Chain A
Amino acid sequence: MAISDIGDIQVAERALQHHFADMDQQRDTSSFGMWMFLLTEIMFFGGLFCAYLVYRASYYQAFVEGSQKMNIVLGATNTAVLICSSLTMALGVRAAQMGKPKLMVILLLITIVLGFGFLGIKAVEYHEHWENHEFPGPNFHFETGNPAHPATDPQHTQIYFSLYWAMTGLHALHMVIGIGLVAWLVIAGLMGAYTPHYSNPVENVGLYWHFVDLVWIYLFPMLYLISKKHGG
């Protein structure tokens, strides 16, 4: 047995909590706990998706007009940025499992940079909407500019924007938390906390990061791509 293997097993022994029989059981339990948490997160976002479906069914045309104010280039770019960050996260978890802490730290740092990239692009979009009075509240203003459908009520488009800000805002909050968690992994990784025998925290934060990507995969078509065809 190589010396580094003995070191690994010592880290694993320290990581094994007394109420688990072995590392295997501990790993499965921690993974299961994370998935249960993600289940509650799905129901949490599910409420917003449900509100979106109900109002979209009621005020379809007003939602189409709202979605046409979305910057589809920035939205698609952000989707790509998130998918890239999921790749670097997945490779980071892989590096941790293979016992390559330096590679893991590098990949996780790239993930953090991509996460900030997403938030930066989102901030540009938010700024545009804010400048255009597309934030719900007393200053909300919306011209139903489509002469083919003059019947839409700006109040109904305001519902679209309320949901847009709530859903993307909650998603952005998850991104901020995710970046914080990945930063914590980077620091712990630099201190040598993870080995091939003990990488549950890296795996669980990875699950969280991919889940946040997953939410965006649905938010993007639902908020941005409702109906470009009616544009112009």
Chain B
Amino acid sequence: MQGTTESVGHIIPAKLYVAIWAILMAMTLTTVLVSFVDIGPFNIVVALVIATIKATLVVLFFMHLRYSPKLTMATVVAAMFFLFLLLGLTMTDYLTRAWLTNPGY
């Protein structure tokens, strides 16, 4: 049975999982509290930055990406790239339409 002993995935210490969980819970509390403070246009920036850090932690540790083959990492990068194309190119259209009808806007 060649290879069977190697097929055990990388096992992450339970302590690390609990630490990631604690960070995620703390960040959830932070994002809720910040939403009650008026910091102008930075409210949405802070909310999305916190969400992205949380998402990164979930993907890297809970979903084991940090310990996964390069092919898996390429898949995640591809997902982010195509999502960027979908959202980014759509918004370059919708956010710039007013420029044509309202010069100087």
Residues of chain A at the chain B interface (Cβ within 8 Å): 9, 12-13, 21-28, 31-32, 35-36, 38-39, 42-43, 46-47, 49-50, 53-54, 57-58, 72, 76, 79-80, 83-84, 86-87, 89-91, 94, 97-98, 196-199, 203, 206-207, 210-211, 213-214, 217-218, 220-222, 224-229
Contact = CB atoms under 8 A, between A and B. Distances in A.
A192 B100 CA distance: 66
Contacts of A213: 58, 62
B51 A32 contact: no
A86 B95 contact: no
A200 to B, nearest CB: 9
B63 A94 contact: no
Given A83-B25, A221-B51, A224-B35, 5 more contacts: A22-B7, A47-B86, A72-B35, A76-B28, A210-B58
B90 A225 contact: no
Interface centre among A12, A197, A214, A217 (most CB of B within 10 A): A217
Instruction: Determine the main DSSP class of B at the interface with A.
Output: helix
Nearest to A218: B51
Nearest first, the 6 A-B pairs at minimum CB distance are A22-B3, A23-B7, A221-B47, A229-B38, A225-B35, A87-B21
A192 to B, nearest CB: 17
A46 B87 contact: yes
B75 interface: yes
Contacts of A221: 31, 35, 44, 47-48, 50-51
A36 B75 contact: yes
